[in-house]
Structure 1
């Protein structure tokens, strides 16, 4: 490898380490996120270098307890201490790794991440619930949802099962808010957005701030950053996601008992309605489920919802013994 090429690689690693430190700094704001997004998009090498820096950070994080025990002068590993490795060609890259290790070993707080309690929140059929976390973050849970929350000292993490929720996240640059949703991970500092994971499909809609959606470990795809008014739709297992412009408030209207749809498949609409009603709607066949639907449904009257569906979509409805059957005309 020639010298100029190596210098370019080192410079990219330096920049990745700098961005990793900067985006974790308390003063990081939306302007920093926009600049960071521009840097990532300038070259595939930038994203690869940043992923490598993040992987190193996570590796050090996982090794935190071992490092702490090894460097404890009074611990069992005191006699086995070894001098640190020599500096490599990239000084700031090594410095970033050293800072990460120091943060893990010296600070007492990070070890609480391992033992931080996990709290599960769930809603039943037709039930909506608002939860305020200890950090001030507000979560509005839609009907038929289940999530688990763990507030660690370096990261706030939510795992979504089959669920939909609006998150209004209290800003804390030192503790990013991370949501694991299927094969995608949503990362924010402080913002308002809706995350939906239903039947193998994920949707993220942003009302305020910037949200980063990345493939989970082992999943294919690329990181995508969403700004207000953007919606990401993703099928779990697929490499690509679709972006569209939306009116966030319409997506959030389920909190007031109104479901607003613009060109959505009827199977999605029916699945949503069935999380609120005791008498389920059923689709006669796959063709009926693929009919595109646009309209507003008010959930306070089940029969009125069915009438609206029949009026706004080319379908008919038939009452059966235990359900209402919808069929394409």
Structure 2
């Protein structure tokens, strides 16, 4: 089911639809605004990164109109609000792009006597951990982000939102408390939403695993905003492409955070998956597993930066043979039984 108002159905792009919806929400604020209205607005904002971006952008433009040092801008703000309200009632819909780029933007420029608005939205900032190394950073709001080897997270913070995208790899999020600024991490088709808590997300291929360490989080469908799960400390949620997921009532927290201490814990893990994780820490010497051996199971505790010990252990306890290549890479293949 679409969350879009019917007036948005003819809009050609999702970005325009989000901008138009933000204009409609803006027009509705003011007298008569209720707690239920605020809850509905917050649900809409957190349902999709594009919607959060649209709301942040239009809010910052309206903040310019509210500047007390420039009272001559007040009539322009009123004009923008009236235009947004009218745009919600007819087609074509007045979107934020048209508010900024059309007559309102021109009037603002003239009234501000030379003020130039280049972009109402702050840029995305990207944090990466190099292959073979972990990285820890303190974000602008005081939250701490710890990246596993090879992981990447993009962030964009505004006065009302904290939006992040885990594009690849694994990260731990220790969220500074700010109840009025939801902290939303997009991963695949889902959003993990918190206000002050600590959790771990591992993003592998089309799936991901969320493990809650402290506080509470909601896992939501990214497109609809529907809540898929509300996690308590010690619980996990396994995400899959397409919006499906599985609640893990008792997740292995030690396994989820062992990488932050330089360890990898495998519990009945597929050999192919375990080898790929070990290879994050030795990208110049990757471990490749043949399809025939990929489903063999691995359990144990390994030093993240000791690929040789991992290869030696699996070769000893599993029916696999290790072939070392001149470039330092290793091939693990199913060991054949000797001919009779």
Task: Tell me which protein shows more helix as a share of its residues.
Answer: 1
Structure 1: which 5+ residue stretches go unaligned? 1-13, 25-49, 86-110
Say which of 296, 299, 308 aligns to 1:303. Answer: 308
Is the 1:70–1:78 Cα contact (8 Å) retained in structure 2?
no
Is the 1:70–1:81 Cα contact (8 Å) retained in structure 2?
no
Counterparts in 2 of 1:64 and 1:15: CA distance versus 1, 3 Å? closer
Query: 1:42 aligns to what?
Result: none
| Residue 19 (structure 1) shift | 8.3
Counterparts in 2 of 1:218 and 1:167: CA distance versus 1, 3 Å? same
Structure 2: which 5+ residue stretches go unaligned? 1-32, 67-72, 87-116, 336-340
Counterparts in 2 of 1:194 and 1:317: CA distance versus 1, 3 Å? same
- The 5 A counterparts of 1:121-132 are 121-132=127-138
| Residue 227 (structure 1) shift | 1.5
Say which of 302, 321, 325 aligns to 1:320. Answer: 325
Counterparts in 2 of 1:240 and 1:169: CA distance versus 1, 3 Å? same
- Is the aligned partner of 1:201 residue 2:202? no
| Residue 299 (structure 1) shift | 2.6
Partner Cα separation in structure 1 for residue 303 and residue 211 of structure 2: 21
Partner Cα separation in structure 2 for residue 234 and residue 158 of structure 1: 17
Q: Counterpart of 2:75 in 1: which secondary structure?
A: coil
Q: Counterpart of 2:260 in 1: which secondary structure?
A: helix
Query: 1:292 aligns to what?
Result: 297
Counterparts in 2 of 1:79 and 1:272: CA distance versus 1, 3 Å? closer
| Residue 254 (structure 1) shift | 0.5
Partner Cα separation in structure 1 for residue 183 and residue 210 of structure 2: 14
Partner Cα separation in structure 2 for residue 149 and residue 20 of structure 1: 24
- Is the aligned partner of 1:20 residue 2:39? yes
| Residue 259 (structure 1) shift | 0.4
Counterparts in 2 of 1:134 and 1:261: CA distance versus 1, 3 Å? same
Query: 2:76 aligns to what?
Result: 75
Say which of 213, 222, 234 aligns to 1:229. Answer: 234
| Residue 308 (structure 1) shift | 2.1
Say which of 254, 260, 265 aligns to 1:255. Answer: 260
- Is the aligned partner of 1:276 residue 2:281? yes
RMSD across aligned positions (CA): 3.6
- Is the aligned partner of 1:175 residue 2:181? yes
The range that moved more, 114-123 or 145-154, is 114-123
- The 5 A counterparts of 1:13-162 are 17=36, 20=39, 64=59, 73-75=74-76, 78=79, 81=82, 114-162=120-168
Q: Counterpart of 2:179 in 1: which secondary structure?
A: coil
Q: Counterpart of 2:293 in 1: which secondary structure?
A: helix
Is the 2:47–2:222 Cα contact (8 Å) retained in structure 1?
no
| Residue 75 (structure 1) shift | 1.7
Q: What TM-score do the two structures reach when normalised by structure 2? A: 0.65
Q: What TM-score do the two structures reach when normalised by structure 1? A: 0.67
| Residue 300 (structure 1) shift | 3.7
